[in-house]
Amino acid sequence: RLHIVTWNVGTASPPPDVTSLLQLNSLGAAMDMYVIGLQEVNSKITNFLSDLAFDDPWSIFFMNVLSSLGYIKLSSVRMQGLLLLIFVKHVHLPFIRDIHTQYTRTGLYGYWGNKGGVAIRMSLYGHTVCFMNCHLPAHMENTEQRLDDFEKILEMQFEEENIPSTLDHDVLFWFGDLNFRIADYGIHFVRESINNRRYSLLWEKDQLNMAKKKEAFLQDFIEGPLQFKPTYKFDLYSDVYDTSEKKRKPAWTDRVLWRVKNLCQHTSKETELSEEEQTISVTLNNYISHMSYGISDHKPVTGTFGLEIKPLLSNPSVVLKPEGEWSSEHDVVISYSAVPEFPSSTWDWIGLFKVTFKHANDYVTYAWVKDDEISSNNDSNQVYMNAEEIPNMGGEFVLCYYSNNMQSIVGISQPFQIQPNRTLTEKDLAQEEIDWMRKPDNL
């Protein structure tokens, strides 16, 4: 289950609550992955420079919301006001590899990143998946510029060798403030059609729908039905369309589309794909806007998908577990084993994380797999952690193996308990808990 969010936040700060946006109260199964694409994140030069040194407020906000629910930030990429975040359930981490990010500037002749696209790609259970968040040029008359810019963004090349181009991924998700408008009809006809929920009258004049019929590079992209009100442009903190002097015509500027490579090949060859050949499929379960959010003149849009995948990877690269009872009263031991073809490195490390950890660098402590090794054979390896590095207060933790070559977590243990240090007083333990909470990452 994959949940994609696109939202032009208009330089605003995060809202108090995103429960409905992330569908956290959904009666169905929990999401496996959240992909959050934001546009117009505050990118004043002072904010941008501070965000380069520290996570921006939106990233921190979503990490705080999702980490307590068992998600970690898998990757992120920022280009000025464009931000793309991916969060994933712990259980999937060992099967996600080759994570790479890239961006393409198109605004102001490519010199300034106020428009363009950011992308994150990965291998998911052996299948290549790419997510692309775009902010295309505004205004009714710039349809051709939007199409030209998107075509340029699609040519984005990831720097590492052997990484497929965007269109060569098994699945490509394209979303963002695409800025396509409703052509020909006047503002009164558009607003009247919206008030009467006669959206179908407007679909045929939607610039993106019209372009998909003419432009070959768009024809393989699929979108769900636009059965929600146009998401632009609203007065702040209201459901009322623009009452300013400009009185912008409503439009479906905020969109989520996808493209499945196998389906494109199937269409071009006009042959049936057997179930064995169709190793990954995408089903749209929900495509809606969220009218209750009013911090910007856009309403957020979400697409909830089912990804049915025939795994090409069925075993994690590394299996690891803690040995014996853990506490800070003595050094502790980690056992791990790797598959024969695993490309280990002297820079690999094993981290100790709280179960609510937010990202790969949010460890309590770590051990180098080579420098801290105490035994090694064909079946298993053992690494020690110094007692001084183990939290005195104890609690529930996991171990993660980080691969330097793959630049990702490739193994994660089952959650386990670290026992409180019995030689310390309750006052000492309470003070350690306070000190830990005061760390900047945990505020």
**Residue pLDDT, tens place only, 188-244:** 999 999 999 999 999 999 999 999 999 999 999 999 999 999 999 999 999 999 999
Q: Provide the percentage of residues in the chain whose pLDDT is more than 90.
A: 78
87 pairs with which residues across the strands? Answer: 34, 73
List b or e across 367-380, with b for residues whose CB sees 16 or more CB atoms inside 10 angstroms: bebeebeeeeeeee
Query: Where are any strands of DSSP class E within 106-235?
Result: 116-124, 127-135, 171-177, 222-223
List Cα–Cα distances, 429 to 3, 365, 394, in angstroms. 39, 18, 9
- Which segments of 36-131 does DSSP mark as H helices, in order? 45-53, 57-67
Distance CA 293, CA 18 (A): 9
DSSP state of 246: S
ω into 233 cis (within 30 of 0): yes
Q: Which domains does the chain have, with CATH numbers?
A: 2-309 (3.60.10.10), 318-436 (2.60.40.2840)
**Other beta carbons within 10 Å of 276:** 7
Structure tokens at 132: 């692309």
pTM score of the predicted model: 0.91
Distance CA 83, CA 75 (A): 11
Alpha carbons within 13 angstroms on the beta-carbon side of residue 40 total: 20
CA trace torsion 436, 437, 442, 443 (10° rounding): -150
The amino acid sitting at 378 is: N
In a structure prediction context, what are the per-residue pLDDT tens digits for the chain, which is 443 residues long? 999 999 999 999 999 999 999 999 887 789 999 999 999 998 765 565 555 556 789 999 999 999 999 999 999 999 989 999 999 999 999 999 999 999 999 866 545 557 999 999 999 999 999 999 999 999 999 999 999 999 999 999 998 888 999 999 999 999 999 999 999 999 999 999 999 999 999 999 999 999 999 999 999 999 999 999 999 999 999 999 999 998 999 999 999 999 999 777 655 445 555 545 668 999 999 999 999 999 999 999 999 999 999 999 888 999 999 999 999 999 999 999 999 889 999 999 999 999 999 999 999 999 999 999 998 887 899 999 999 999 998 999 999 999 998 888 999 999 999 999 888 766 666 666 666 666 655 54
Closest CA to 268 of 216, 222, 224: 216
Closest CA to 297 of 333, 342, 243: 243
